[in-house]
């Protein structure tokens, strides 16, 4: 089973909590056990599982990546000025796989699923959710 989640982003770099949207896809699938793949379409977005207690960890992630991969000076910047966004997305990665256990995402109490925007704001970002059932 496959479904799409579409979101919009408001900042150049931000983590957007998509956990409830993924939960909704799981509920609508009727699948109770298996795997959920969450995949960010686009070369400057990524998917991360991270703490959900408050937004300090998400802000720390953005600040760390800004320090490790600063804006400007990349060869790709000659094309469209977003070389850092491509590098950050590649480092974090486009997808995560979550176990589906008795109809619930196998996340801990403190984990949520985040879309990582590195080249926003964007009016439309698409995330592909694929659910594979245990048989």
What's phi and psi for 10, nearest 5 deg? -115, -15
Tell me, yes or no, if the pTM score tops 0.75: yes
User: In sequence order, which ranges of the chain are alpha helices (DSSP H)?
Assistant: 19-29, 56-68, 77-80, 83-92
Residue ranges per structural domain of the chain: 2-133
The model's pLDDT over 38-94, given as tens digits with 9 standing for 90+, comes to 999 999 999 999 999 999 999 999 999 999 999 999 999 999 999 999 999 999 999
Q: Is 61 helix (H, G, I), strand (E, B) or coil?
A: helix
pLDDT at 135: 80
129 has pLDDT over 90: yes
Domain 2-133 sits in CATH 1.10.1740.10: no
Q: Are 117 and 17 in contact (CB under 8 A)?
A: no
Structure confidence by residue, pLDDT tens digits, 11-23 = 999 999 999 999 9
Burial of 108 (0-12, 13-18, 19+ CB in 10 A): exposed
Question: 71: how many CB neighbours lie within 10 A of its CB?
Answer: 14
């Amino acid at each position: 089973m496959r479904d799409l989640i579409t979101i919009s982003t408001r900042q150049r770099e931000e983590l957007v909590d998509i956990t409830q949207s993924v939960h909704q896809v799981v509920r609508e699938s009727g699948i109770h056990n298996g795997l959920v793949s969450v995949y960010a379409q686009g070369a400057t977005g990524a998917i991360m599982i991270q703490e959900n207690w408050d937004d300090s960890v998400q802000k720390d992630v953005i600040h760390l990546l800004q320090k490790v991969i600063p804006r400007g000076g990349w060869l790709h910047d000659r094309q469209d000025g977003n070389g850092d966004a491509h590098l950050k997305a590649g480092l974090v990665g486009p997808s995560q796989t979550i176990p589906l256990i008795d109809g619930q995402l196998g996340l801990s109490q403190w984990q949520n699923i985040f879309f990582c925007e590195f080249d926003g704001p964007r009016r439309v970002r698409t995330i592909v959710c694929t659910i594979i059932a245990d048989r």
